[in-house]
Chain A
Amino acid sequence: MSVGSTERTLCVNGRSVDLREVPADERLLDTLRWRLGLRGTKEGCRSGGCGACTVLVDGYGRLSCLALTHELEGTAVTTIEAAHLDPVGSVVQQAFAEEGAVQCGYCTPGFVMAVTGLLRDPARDRPIAELLHDLGGNLCRCTGYVAIARAVERARERVR
């Protein structure tokens, strides 16, 4: 029996989730969307190929479709529903809206979380091309990424 099995939890947007109620093979994406009703996190390919389901785990971007919920015991998960409470997250959301980086919007929550993760990191002052390269796992079919790149730059200027 694992240590602390009587209180196995993870924290989602500040709220404790009891892992005893979560099947061992459940993905974080499904826990968020269907168990907790947090459907702002989007389901795209479910195989790590599109980035639409990106959330923050302890402040860093992570694909929720590739994470088993039980793996994340003891971590703090932030989803798009709480992004506006994060000082960086709210800046990123504004920048995406202002720069026209949002069209159909299906990739947007994943992008917002991925960019928020990058800009919370002290390594955010790298050349912009490196930051954008790190976002290569997030696909967008509408914008051609041009406005998204502008939004990333604008958001970084504001959080510096």
Chain B
Amino acid sequence: MTAPGRPDALAKARGEVEYATDLTVPGMLWGALVLAPVPHAIVRRVDLSAARALPSVVAIGASDLPTLLGDAHGDPERPPFPTAEVVYPAQPVAAVAAPSLARAREAARAVRLELEARPPVPDLETIFPEWPGSEASRSPHVAAHVHARRGDVDRELAAADVVVAETYRTAGVHQVALEPHACVAEVVGDRWSVRTSTQSPFGVREDVSSILGIPEGSITVEGTWVGGGFGGKGASLLEPYALLLAKAARAPVRLALTYREEFLLGRSTLPMVARLETGVRDGRLVARRVRLLLDVGASLPGRDFATGYSIGFLLGPYRTGAFEVEGYAVRTNKPPFGPHRAPLAPQAAFVAESHLIEVARRIGADPEAFRAAHLWTEGGTTPLGQPVGPFGLPRALEAARARASEWRAGLPGGHGVGIGLGFWSTNTGAGGEARVRLEGGSLVIEQGEREIGSGSVLVGLARVASRRTGLPADRVRVEYRGTAEAPFDSGVFGSRTVGALGRAVDEATVTLLTELGRRLQGTAPATLAVEGDRLVARTDRAHASVESLLTADERASGGLKASGRHFGAAGGIDESLVVEGSFYPYQDFTGAAHVAEVAVDPATGTVRVVRYAAFHDVGTLLDPAGARAQVEGGVVMGLGTALTEEAVWSEDGHLRNPDLVDYRLPRLGIVPSIEVTFVEGHPGAGPFGAKGLGEPPIIPVPAAIAAAVREAAGVHLTQLPLSPERVARAVKAAQPSRPDDAARRR
């Protein structure tokens, strides 16, 4: 017996699934990267001679690229190895391969680096301790600038009854997929092939092509099983190095990160500072200003996506009067910014929600009623002028408020209840294509994505075809194809797999059913059913076995085939409001309201999550068990962002906690009971009106926890994570000083 809906579960529980870290091929060499020991330096010399003197060692650096790549010229802004300057700690400066991992490590240590250290920029606030104003646009540290506004914010603030100005800070967080990055590369003639753990095989192919300058047609990427992604495996990381080593060695090369390296050079989400100013008149939001400084590490200028997307989440899903949002992507000597499950949205929701709770308290309003009164509703518009589509968050909030009232009745001392809202949009703008194939006994979906764990590929895509055809789950199978064979798809990210690739599957399925309907002389597409052992197609006019409807050619070539594609279009934003930079429209409108009950120990600052309830707008629920699992996993990941997870950077630019002991993840003992409720009936961009659910569950968590901590301990924290130290300090600061303290001070 296997789990309903997870064809991979038992094989994984038996350790039979092969991940990229498990791959070996005959004649394989082991690769290792040589990492810069400092965050910022001028490269004087990379001396590979001692490494090359070791038996059977291949070593490569920047100077070998012309030999290895010949006429190919990669993007000069993205060289695999730095030629002039190291710009982040642990930046790869050379790579080696050897017949054993021990020899490869020895060779990596033997590479002599002559680096001239330069003072690093470790933190955005060392560059911009205050809001920089317009001169920042000319700073070499600014990678992107976004700015939009409507109305006269200054005038509205001046006329407001109450103005609340606050500054928030959030920490960098790692994805911490348990499987480190790994791949095996081989170059034969002009075929560059890599098997890798990735959320986007086609994205890796495009990256490799851009970095090495090899045409995409010469590159084959085959995805392996993926041991967790969470955004960290969406772009290439090791593949260019493994391919270059394989080319130099004329042998297959395995390259994998150690977990310490995973922390050091993985692309994680970095800190931000957000300044908010909000004016209220007659109990209504009349003016809001949001100013964002986002650390994007060593990201390339002009290539920042995060600032323009994330800044909208700092306003939250609320109607507002005049507003101004302005943000700078600030370059520091950290690894380039990378997406982490709903990039920056959990942090932004923490800021937006905590701030509006503070605003409500200052005007004596109920924080939950205040948010409910301003929440977007279907038919309204976003601040940037985009019409709000079907939106279940108001109903989710209503349900959350009811649950919060129940929990508040009879709450023990030291406990508090809080509600956090999070808004999101399924990224169906990133498109994809799929094929379906109808055999005599089953429907097969052929596509180019590997299952990364959420079930969106193996279960989600199958559910779409199952629902469309009428076939039971065990008659629909999802097959993976590498980039050489698969139809294009953007990747498993942005909560888009079912929403966008699923639409392509659905279109292919409808095309196939339409063809069957035609063959049955029907007026509508056929439906499918199982009769005995075989599949039967039906229309209003006739029915027949699928086998009998296939041509001889089709029977010989694997069945009746059809293909579909989906590239989503979004409603536009009002471009007249944009002063500078790129803002992104939403594909649909989804979100969740979460309720947390916490207990705070005022002495230690420890926050214990007692119980938790999540109310999610899902549009249409396609896979109840899988959806529930996504929410449970997202909530607990969010507890890490809320309470313990923080990449700690030293003043000299080094990551201080690159391991799983000092970077603290949620553990089994601390997880509360989690109630999960879905709100249906507000259709999204996905098939049958489904909305993405990979990212939304993490978004409201830090906001909900912070709101509950505020109620439990009377402290208003403006920095993530809400570590015991921060909570304890805030509790202490909020306590009226005792007479003896006062006496001592005198």
Contact = CB atoms under 8 A, between A and B. Distances in A.
A66 to B, nearest CB: 12
A140 B640 CA distance: 12
A138 B671 CA distance: 13
A139 B259 CA distance: 14
A89 B12 CA distance: 14
B493 interface: no
Interface in B4-19: 5-6, 8-10, 12-19
A136 B6 CA distance: 25
Contacts of A141: 175-178, 228, 230, 633, 637, 665
A18 interface: no
A61 to B, nearest CB: 14
B2 interface: yes
A60 interface: no
Contacts of B16: 40
A76 interface: no
A79 to B, nearest CB: 8
Which of B227, B258, B628, B659 has most A Cβ within 10 Å? B227
A117 interface: no
Interface residues of B, number: 57
A138 B666 CA distance: 10
Point out which of B8, B228, B455 has the most chain A C-beta atoms below 10 A from its C-beta. Answer: B228
A135 B670 CA distance: 11
Interface string B250-271: 0000000011100000000000
A50 B178 contact: yes
Interface in A8-48: 33, 39-48
A112 B13 contact: yes
Contacts of A138: 668
A144 B635 contact: yes
Between A33, A97, A107, A112, the greatest number of chain B beta carbons within 10 A of the residue's beta carbon is seen for A97
Given A103-B453, A108-B12, A132-B669, A144 B659 contact: no
Interface string A45-62: 111111010000000000
B743 interface: no
Nearest to B661: A49
Given A104-B178, A135-B668, A50 B660 contact: yes
17 contacts: A33-B22, A42-B21, A49-B660, A50-B660, A80-B15, A92-B13, A93-B10, A100-B626, A102-B3, A104-B177, A104-B229, A106-B179, A106-B227, A106-B228, A135-B668, A141-B228, A145-B667
Given A79-B15, A100-B5, A141-B633, 17 more contacts: A40-B15, A45-B259, A46-B258, A47-B260, A47-B661, A49-B661, A97-B9, A100-B628, A104-B226, A112-B13, A137-B667, A139-B178, A140-B178, A141-B228, A144-B666, A146-B671, A149-B671
3 tightest A-B contacts by CB?
Answer: A40-B15, A104-B453, A105-B12
